[in-house]
Amino acid sequence: MSSTFDQVATIIAETCDIPRDTITPDSHAIDDLGIDSLDFLDIAFAIDKQFGIKLPLEKWTQEVNDGKATTEQYFVLKNLCARIDELVAAKGASA
Amino acid sequence: MQLEYFHMIDRIVDLKVDEKTIVVEAQVPKESTIFEGHFPGYPLMPGVLLIESMAQASGFLLLGVLKFERMPILAAVKEAKVRGSVFPGDLMTLEASVAHEGSGYAMTEAKIRVGGKLRANSTLTFTLIPFPNSDMRGYMDAVAQRVGFPQQAVSP
């Protein structure tokens, strides 16, 4: 099975027409890849479907807006993938 | 349907909040200034208004699913196909279902039929925002009453 990062990078490449080889674990989805909020909804949708989770985008956005978190914590891809792994694990634990 | 007010939907026929589906009706008026330009001698409903009708049907569905705690705002038209013309005087039956409910957004699939025949379909994305003010919330309550929104679906 491919890694979470590989799956997310493929989703981003296909959803936003970004060359796959330019997407790295250290890429910031917004600052480096130029993904806007509307495109990110498509990515979130694909991630939700592929991993069977619900990315808490509203909570993350609120935390960033309130200064309680930085965009790097959620939108640098290695960090995003770590969040996804946590959500998948939590889902498995509650199943 | 009151085209000048963008009131596309006349009546909610069936709303199943648990199944996340809705059926509504929209009676296209026989006369409108829109048809004078679109087109002289061959009046038909503009495709963008068919999309708007599907968006409003989807919007009512999401309002019901969310119990009026959020306002759905059209964000993206993923795919829309106008498969046949809709003419003045036609009664449109619209069906919508929630394809995905995300965090702060939702996607729906909607269809328009006239006389049982599919005329248009689309996949739509909505952002789900808090009501920005009491005026808008009050207006939507009035709209809900106008279209016969089931009261049990309005109250949390």
B87 touching chain A per CB within 8 A: no
Residue B153 reports pLDDT greater than 70: no
Q: A2-91, what's its fold? A: 1.10.1200
> What is the chain A residue with the closest CA to B75?
A38
In a domain, B153, yes or no: no
- C-alpha B2/C-alpha B100 separation (Å) is 30
User: Which of B105, B108, B125, B126 would best serve as a mutation to test chain A binding (most A beta carbons within 10 A)?
Assistant: B105
- C-alpha A18/C-alpha A11 separation (Å) is 10
Residue A1 reports pLDDT greater than 80: no
CA B50 to centroid of chain Cα atoms: 9
Residue B156 reports pLDDT greater than 60: no
Q: Which residues pair with B1 in a beta bridge?
A: none
B104 touching chain A per CB within 8 A: yes
Task: Using CB atoms, pick whichever of B75, B76, B100 lies closest to residue A48.
Answer: B100
Angle at B34 between CA B33 and CA B37, to 5 degrees: 95
Residues of A in contact with B130 (CB under 8 A): none
**What does each C-alpha distance from B50 to B41, B59, B114 come to in angstroms?**
20, 14, 12
In a domain, B112, yes or no: yes
Burial class (CB in 10 A: 0-12, 13-18, 19+), A13: middle
Q: Across chain B, what does the average pLDDT equal? A: 95
- C-alpha B156/C-alpha B138 separation (Å) is 16
Question: How many A-B residue pairs are in contact by the CB < 8 A criterion?
Answer: 34
The catalytically annotated residue of B38, B77, B80, B87 is B38
In a domain, B145, yes or no: no
pLDDT at A94: 77
Q: Is the ipTM of this complex over 0.95?
A: no
- C-alpha B94/C-alpha B45 separation (Å) is 15
Q: Tens digit of pLDDT for each residue in B113-122? A: 999 999 999 9
In a domain, B150, yes or no: no
Q: Across chain A, what does the average pLDDT equal? A: 94
Residue A95 reports pLDDT greater than 90: no
Residues A64-95: b if buried by 16+ CB within 10 A, e if exposed = beeeeeebeebbbbebbbebbeebeeeeeeee
Residue B152 reports pLDDT greater than 90: no
CATH of the domain at B103: 3.10.129.10
Q: Tens digit of pLDDT for each residue in A63-75? A: 999 999 999 999 9
User: Which of A45, A54, A57, A65 would best serve as a mutation to test chain B binding (most B beta carbons within 10 A)?
Assistant: A45
> What is the chain B residue with the closest CA to A55?
B103
- Can you give the pTM of this predicted structure? 0.91
CA distance B103 to chain A (A): 5
pLDDT at B151: 72
Residue B6: domain span = 1-139
Q: Which residues pair with A4 in a beta bridge?
A: none
Is residue B100 annotated as part of the catalytic site, yes or no?
Answer: no
Q: Tens digit of pLDDT for each residue in B127-142? A: 999 999 999 999 999 9
Residue among B15, B154, B107 at smallest CA distance from A38: B107
Element (H, E) at B138: helix B134-146
What is the count of structural domains for chain B? 1
In a domain, B152, yes or no: no
Q: Tens digit of pLDDT for each residue in A16-48? A: 999 999 999 999 999 999 999 899 999 999 999
* Domain segments of chain A as ranges: 2-91
> What is the chain B residue with the closest CA to A60?
B103
B125 torsion bin: left (phi>0), alpha (psi -120 to 50), beta (else): beta
pLDDT at A92: 82
Q: Tens digit of pLDDT for each residue in B32-85? A: 999 999 999 999 999 999 999 999 999 999 999 999 999 999 999 988 999 999
In a domain, B151, yes or no: no
| Percentage of residues of chain B with pLDDT beyond 70 | 97
**What does each C-alpha distance from A47 to A9, A58, A64 come to in angstroms?**
10, 15, 21
Q: Tens digit of pLDDT for each residue in B9-31? A: 999 999 999 999 999 999 999 99
